[in-house]
Structure 1
């Protein structure tokens, strides 16, 4: 199948960025529970982030993490003062989530709780396609409004 010319311009994903209220706390969760490796931190502000985002006075602490070819940028906005916390539900337009495949969903839920991550609904099991039948799924969320999905694929017979 051939891609339309405009789609050939996109070469791949660079990173997923998530705004957090406490960078230090979230770094602990992403490293200790999710197994990401910290590749660098910085405080950014000034003309470049202001020009890119269109937010005058934007200043943030950022951290870059990687795992299995996936890069996540966690950033804690420090300025401007009029920033808000966005806590959408999965049904709200503009909401998003990042999904991870896990070996033991129950253990992941248990080890995430001390970091402030809670089960959003309940663990669900895929009973028919198009998803993998027998897969166990769970949405976890934290006080910042971030939603992560965890998927435990069925064991092959």
Structure 2
């Protein structure tokens, strides 16, 4: 039995968030040109390491590591084995997830993202009561790969702190 008081100490930090994509270069370009991430490197990986880690025989992927603000995103395009599916969850589906990004001009980013195939999932919403920052503007974007991004524009008073 593990001592419950020690468990939180075992997790030090988030290493990266990985997102499966259908077109790696297109997504690299979007994350760099629209979201301002820096490309740290690209590779193609396969063999025993990813097979052992994922439990998927014959797995092979093209990967790219991008960073911004101390966070790292791994974009990966599976190239083997065949028979992959695309998962397009609704935000209420168990197992769905999204990545929230703090932004300064939500409307401009929505417009720029549309040219890259990202669509508004609902509509822009405004936080009217806590626990979130009152006045913040929020919107979910999604693309054809099923990835969901939340853009969060804080009210001016909160941004200036």
Range into which the TM-score falls when normalised by the shorter chain:
over 0.9
Q: Deviations over 1:49-99 (max 9, x none)?
A: 000000011000000001110100000000110111100000000000000
**Cα RMSD, aligned residues only:** 1.1
Aligned match of 1:56:
57
Q: 4+ residue runs of structure 1 moved beyond 6 angstroms?
A: none
Aligned match of 2:121:
120
Displacement after TM superposition at 1:4 (Å): 2.3
How far apart, in 2, do the equivalents of 1:88 and 1:143 lie?
11
Aligned match of 1:8:
9
How far apart, in 2, do the equivalents of 1:145 and 1:4 lie?
38
Write out aligned runs for 1:74-85 (5 A).
74-85=75-86
Aligned match of 1:25:
26
Where structure 1 has 5 or more consecutive residues not aligned to the other structure, the ranges are: none
TM-score, normalised with respect to structure 1 = 0.97
Where structure 2 has 5 or more consecutive residues not aligned to the other structure, the ranges are: none
How far apart, in 1, do the equivalents of 2:157 and 2:72 lie?
29
TM-score, normalised with respect to structure 2 = 0.94
